[in-house]
Amino acid sequence: MRQNNVADSGAIKKKMNGYVGFSNYPNQVHRRSIKRGFNFTLMVVGESGLGKSTLINTLFESKVYPGRDDSAAVGAVEHPNGVEISSVTADIQENGIKLKLSVVDTPGFGDSINNEESWKPIVENVESRFDAYLAQENRVNRSKIVDNRVNALLYFIKPTGHRLRAIDIEFMKNLHTRVNLIPVIAKSDTLTPREVEQFKANVLADINYHGIQIFKPVSDEYDDPETIADNKDIAGKIPFAVIGSESFVERADGTKVRGRQYPWGIIEVENEQHNDFVRLRQMLLRTHMEELRDTTDVALYESYRTQKLLAMGHVQDAAVFREFNPRVQQEEEARAHYAKMQKLEAEMSAVFQQKVQEKEAKLKQSEEELHSRHKEMKAAMEAQRTALEEQKRRAQAAMPVPGTAEPMYQTQPRKDKKKLFGG
Ligand code: GDP
């Protein structure tokens, strides 16, 4: 038996009677984030000309990504198979919130005759970012950690209308455990809506067949029906069929919108009937940015770090690392504390159970006593009733039947009356 306010997880649920103040915590976090700003690193991968820079600039409504020929892309490193890795950082602000956005581009990917290992320099780059973070985590002074880990990777799929190509599958298979993979169908305006639908189904089937993990918003963590429906809708659009455009076109009603002009009409970037750009932007920037950052930290990076230490054969180092890494220590302390609390709860529950059993036994005993006393009393009363009835019967038997009984006394005629009076 358990008390109602003890939840199964072991946490006691209590409603506060008054305001103590911790409900202000989200505001504190919010204020801190505003003050500090935050980082977001987005990697874009896909063959040249698939509209990567256009889409990034469309997403952030500014020329965040300068494009291939522009010299602003910094630190470009060319690899033997023709893949370069370059990154640009932009400090952008919206409603007073600062975002340090880094866009990592991978020009040359898939552009060579032999693209067999074009995923390699990209994996190396992602992992070197993890290594840099790991090295900073192990420093004595950890107050100023620069976090350049890749939070999301937009993989541009060529709009062939058929299936994924070998290069796409190879890439995703080699990267999916290291990044939050977001597949997008590039330049979806080059396909008809029916072709887009069929292509999406084929891409998803290939992704599932090859066991590739892609980032998907989850619905079961939320209580709010609107958020659940929204997340389901976003998840249903993956792989996002997108259109990018840095220019505006005029609609029939004279209003200007971001879009692409065709002889037969216009395609609007922000029209959900035309493509999935709005849903991609919603997930990436409006609703799941923090989840992407969080998954990078607690799932992708953590698993890389563990694998790396174990692969190096440093089982002992892993232990030492654990010993000196405050974060790992904190996690272990939290785990130990949780286990202790669970043990305590189990003990308390056992004591409670025992007390309940004792009380129940006592109650049963008193019930039995009461029962037997009741039985005794009932028997005594029964005996009394029988005795009284016997008495009554006897008394009735002793009483004469009216009319038949001899008078109790008779007035005898006085035979000697005369005698008495001389008659
Ligand atoms: P990147 O090499 O992948 O960065 O591609 P760019 O962004 O430089 O785009 C290459 C060309 O494709 C440019 O002429 C763009 O105007 C065009 N483009 C970009 N996005 C789209 C799109 O969604 N649809 C179509 N039809 N063209 C696009």
Q: Which has more confidence, 204 or 77?
A: 204
Ligand 1-lining residues (CB < 6 angstroms) = 46, 48-54, 67-68, 187, 189-190, 243-244, 260
Closest residue CA from atom 22 of ligand 1: 187
Report pLDDT digits (tens) over 315-351.
555 555 555 566 667 777 778 888 888 888 888 888 8
**How many Å apart are CA 345 and CA 341, to the nearest integer?**
6
How many domains are there within the chain?
Answer: 1
**How many Å apart are CA 167 and CA 113, to the nearest integer?**
12
Q: Given a cut of 60, is residue 73 above it in pLDDT?
A: no
Distance (angstroms) between ligand 1 centre and the Cα of 281 equals 18
β-pairing verdict for 152-157 and 74-78? unpaired
Task: Supply the pLDDT for residue 67.
Answer: 58
Q: Given a cut of 60, is residue 77 above it in pLDDT?
A: no
pTM: 0.69
Beta bridge partners of 91: 100
For residue 58, which atom of ligand 1 is closest to its CA? Answer: 20
Q: Is residue 220 part of a domain?
A: yes
**How many Å apart are CA 34 and CA 144, to the nearest integer?**
17
**Does the structure's ipTM exceed the value 0.90?**
yes
**Crossing angle between the packed helical segments 166-175 and 120-137, to the nearest 10 degrees:** 10
Average of per-residue pLDDT values in the chain: 82
Q: Is residue 386 part of a domain?
A: no
Q: Is residue 164 part of a domain?
A: yes
Whether the CB-CB separation of 328 and 322 falls below 8 Å is answered with yes
Closest residue CA from atom 18 of ligand 1: 51
**How many Å apart are CA 339 and CA 330, to the nearest integer?**
14
**How many Å apart are CA 204 and CA 240, to the nearest integer?**
11
Quote the domain boundaries for residue 120: 26-324
Separation of first and last alpha carbons in the chain: 109
Q: Is residue 335 part of a domain?
A: no
Q: CB neighbours (10 Å) of residue 24?
A: 12
Q: Is residue 18 part of a domain?
A: no
Distance (angstroms) between ligand 1 centre and the Cα of 246 equals 10
Q: What is the mean pLDDT of residues 259-273?
A: 90
Q: Is residue 170 part of a domain?
A: yes
Report pLDDT digits (tens) over 376-413.
999 999 999 999 999 999 998 888 766 665 555 555 55
Please give the helix or strand (H or E) that residue 237 lies within, else none: helix 225-237
Q: CB neighbours (10 Å) of residue 166?
A: 9
CATH number at residue 79: 3.40.50.300
Distance (angstroms) between ligand 1 centre and the Cα of 345 equals 61
Q: Is residue 143 part of a domain?
A: yes
